[in-house]
Structure 1
Amino acid sequence: MNQAFIGLGSNLGDSRQHILDAIDALARLPGTRVLARSRLYSTPPWGVLEQPSFVNAAVSIETPLAPHELLDALLTIERAAGRVRGGERWGPRTLDLDLLHVAGVTLSDERLTLPHPRMAERAFVLLPLNDLAPDLQVPGVGTVGELLAAVDSSECTLLP
């Protein structure tokens, strides 16, 4: 079994519901269970600024799926939520699922880099991940808590 951390985001449609539905879909993956779920955050857009704010969260799962199999499952869940890839990079989306970290796995190929290469600089990833694993060591960079302290999260707010 692999422990994995997944970042979730949405800024189109009923974003909160898209996130909750995605967490349910993750729990239905073969042999997989959701270990923990972060709180929900409202975060400003990143990259393309002229778009609605995002709802972001993170989950920790235990799964027998290998990293590439899990990535394929995440893409399937995104498509089921109406996500169409190939549009504007960092643009609006119904659902974005990012495989952030798989315990004990470091890899980089044409499809997947683990840990996620830009997670250390993004408050919208670090805030929810800190809810789950503040002491999680991101290889070569530091702990999630240390990384969160080094980014500006002032425009991110906890959702009720």
Structure 2
Amino acid sequence: MERTYIGMGSNLADPAEQLRSAVEALAQLPDSRLVGVSAFYQSDSLLAGQPRYTNAVAALDTAMPPLQLLDALQAIELGQGRERHERWGPRTLDLDILLFGDRLIDEPRLKVPHYHMQARPFVLYPLAEVAPASLTLADGRTLAQLLNDCPFVGLERLCS
């Protein structure tokens, strides 16, 4: 089993409920065990004119290969009404593999560590709640370094 961290986000159709349903679905994945879930955080969309996002991070131990896990996550998204019309459009649910053990993955469908996570407080601060402080990414950067370089700006911690 490898420890993976899954970023979760929603800005449509009751985002907090979308994340709660996603957590239930993650807990049911085969060959996997849900280890923890951060609090929920709300932030403005990266694009103007979209509703605010609710985000969280889940820690999952899994024996699934990375692309099989990606397929399972996309099935959960579809089951919760995700439509893929545009890359940066509003969504009922977005599930991203942020980290997969200590692997560097560069596949056409999957890049790990997740691109730009180091600059996104709505990813890093929830991640810090479920990952050890000593977490080191495959490229040698520590979570502590990333947090130091990415201030807690524009986030509102919600009761999950």
Q: TM-score scaled by structure 2?
A: 0.93
Cα pair 1:123 1:152 within 8 Å, conserved: yes
Distance (whole Å) between structure 2 residues aligned to residue 149 and residue 135 of structure 1: 13
Distance (whole Å) between structure 1 residues aligned to residue 108 and residue 89 of structure 2: 22
Q: Is 2:20 aligned against 1:20?
A: yes
Q: Which amino acid aligns with 2:111?
A: T
Secondary structure of 2:48 counterpart: coil
Name the counterpart of 1:11: 11
Distance (whole Å) between structure 1 residues aligned to residue 88 and residue 145 of structure 2: 25
Q: Which amino acid aligns with 2:61?
A: E
Q: Which runs of 4+ in 1 moved over 3 A?
A: none
Q: Which amino acid aligns with 2:129?
A: D
Cα pair 2:26 2:34 within 8 Å, conserved: yes
Aligned length: 158
Query: Cα RMSD between the aligned structures?
Result: 1.2
Distance (whole Å) between structure 1 residues aligned to residue 67 and residue 87 of structure 2: 22
Q: Give matches, 1:86-101, under 5 Å.
A: 87-101=85-99
User: Kindly, what percent of the aligned residue pairs are identical?
Assistant: 39
Q: TM-score scaled by structure 1?
A: 0.93
Secondary structure of 1:35 counterpart: strand
Q: Give matches, 1:20-99, under 5 Å.
A: 20-46=20-46, 48-85=47-84, 87-99=85-97
Q: Which amino acid aligns with 2:82?
A: R
Cα pair 1:2 1:66 within 8 Å, conserved: no
Cα pair 1:44 1:155 within 8 Å, conserved: yes
Give the unaligned 5+ runs of structure 1.
none
Q: Which amino acid aligns with 2:107?
A: D
Secondary structure of 2:5 counterpart: strand
Task: Using the TM superposition, name which of 143-152 and 14-23 deviates more.
Answer: 143-152
Cα pair 2:102 2:138 within 8 Å, conserved: no
Secondary structure of 2:21 counterpart: helix
| Deviations, residues 115-141 of structure 1 (Å, cap 9, x unaligned) | 112211111111100111232112325
Distance (whole Å) between structure 2 residues aligned to residue 64 and residue 139 of structure 1: 19
Q: Which amino acid aligns with 1:126?
A: L
Cα pair 1:6 1:59 within 8 Å, conserved: yes
How far is the alpha carbon of 1:89 from its aligned partner? 2.2
Name the counterpart of 1:154: 153
Q: Which amino acid aligns with 2:31?
A: G
Q: Give matches, 1:107-118, under 5 Å.
A: 107-118=105-116
Task: Using the TM superposition, name which of 74-83 and 26-35 deviates more.
Answer: 26-35
Distance (whole Å) between structure 2 residues aligned to residue 142 and residue 61 of structure 1: 21
Name the counterpart of 1:119: 117
